[in-house]
Amino acid sequence: MAASSRPRILLLIPHLGGGGAERVMTLLAQDLSAEKYELHLGVITQTEADGKGVPSWVPLHALGASRVRAGAFGLLRLVRQLKPDLILSGMFHLNFLVLLLTPFFPPGTRVVVRQNGTVSSALAFGGLPWYTRPLYRLLYRRADRIICQTRAMAEDISRELGLEENRLAVLPNPVDAEEIRSSACQQLYQWSGPDPHLLALGRLSREKGFDLLLQAFVRLQIHFPRASLVIAGTGPEEAALKAECHALGLDSAVRFAGNLARPWPCFAAATLFVLPSRHEGLPNSLLEAAAAGLPIVALPASGGMVELLSDQPGVWLAPEISAEALATALLAALGSLRPGERFAHSFVEGFRIDRAIAAYERLIDATLTTSARRSESQP
């Protein structure tokens, strides 16, 4: 154990100001007990220690790597310097790097990884290197615990990777519902044109399905010609999506807002929130929109999402993943919503930040009290 009387915890993310996974780790840095733990936050691809949203008592270590896999030596140097009792990593490609390096960490270092997507869907969807499945099978056995966001995700990863279920923990994403609701009351974001205003958030990558949303929006405009759409996020598909938007004749109706670290002021005048993902775990953007009471239209991107959203008031869940199904769900929602209508979305209560942080602390404490990493986790 570290020299401090408090266990030393190193939280790891690629960078600050990204999507939901980064926001989860930032909330953990803010709200995990500073009395119980000595917290550190490591960011792999950030060059400056500008810790917006990170409390002053949490040291921020910016490694400045060009990409995650290029941060191996810097990460190993940081771990050997800090000698953390436990490392918590927050995204799958960073998880791979951390688990690859575990044999070189100081003895007794516990490693917990947070899985932010459904393994079977990610592998089946394509676009990942051929060696992703073997890496999952090899490296995830080295983790002391694997955090999943839903029971369906845990069952999927156990089945796909042959992991024992007692190695998996289902923990809720922390959602600061009070701050979101407060910010969502402030109409700071200027929408163009009259209602309806559609909002979508996420990384601009193919699995997020924004191309499906653009195709559905064309169909929607036949019935709602003055509708507008804001897509907030950045990513590798940004240029292709903007080109598709232009080709579909949507330039005047669709705005690409870029990365919004705190998108909640967009919620105030939004008519509804759209989640067009082809596959997902349980995105924080969905939970944040629900915390603000927004009506939700979503594609059935994972078993966990379907289980959470089915038959919920104020939710229109499409029956399949397609632009046609999404357009039909959007039309159904807009056909029944009253102007400015909001919903309680009681399912968000399970993700309230106090409950989620308590669950994370119980897992951290249990992991710290276990014996040395299982012998089977050795390469």
Q: Residue 129's pLDDT band (boundaries 50, 70, 90)?
A: confident
Q: What is the mean pLDDT of residues 97-109?
A: 95
Per-residue pLDDT at 374? 44
Chain mean position to CA 349: 18
Q: What is the mean pLDDT of residues 98-125?
A: 90
| Token digits of residue 35 | 């009395």
Q: What is the pLDDT of residues 165-202, one digit of tens each?
A: 889 999 998 998 888 888 766 665 666 667 899 999 99
Q: What is the pLDDT of residues 267-317, one digit of tens each?
A: 988 999 999 999 888 888 999 999 999 999 999 998 889 999 999 999 999
Per-residue pLDDT at 126? 60
CATH number attached to the domain at 8-174+353-377: 3.40.50.2000
CATH number attached to the domain at 177-351: 3.40.50.2000
Q: What is the mean pLDDT of residues 73-89?
A: 97
Per-residue pLDDT at 130? 75
Q: Report the candidate in 123, 116, 120, 135 with the shortest Cα–Cα distance to residue 24.
A: 116
Per-residue pLDDT at 375? 39
Q: Does residue 34 carry a pLDDT above 60?
A: yes
Contact 270, 200 (CB under 8 A): no
Helix residue ranges, H only, the chain: 20-31, 72-82, 92-101, 119-125, 132-139, 151-161, 177-184, 210-223, 238-247, 284-291, 303-309, 323-336, 353-368
Q: What is the pLDDT of residues 207-223, one digit of tens each?
A: 999 999 999 999 999 99
pTM of the complete model = 0.86
Q: Residue 108's pLDDT band (boundaries 50, 70, 90)?
A: very high
In angstroms, the CA 63 to CA 141 distance is 26
Per-residue pLDDT at 378? 46
SS3 state at 5: coil
Contact 244, 214 (CB under 8 A): yes
Q: Write down the domain spans for the chain.
A: 8-174+353-377, 177-351
In angstroms, the CA 236 to CA 241 distance is 10
What is the average pLDDT value for the chain, to the nearest integer?
89
In angstroms, the CA 30 to CA 32 distance is 6
Q: Residue 368's pLDDT band (boundaries 50, 70, 90)?
A: very high
In angstroms, the CA 371 to CA 273 distance is 45
| Token digits of residue 276 | 């067009």
Q: What is the pLDDT of residues 308-363, one digit of tens each?
A: 999 999 999 999 999 999 999 999 999 999 999 999 999 999 999 999 999 999 99
In angstroms, the CA 326 to CA 180 distance is 26
Q: Does residue 255 carry a pLDDT above 50?
A: yes
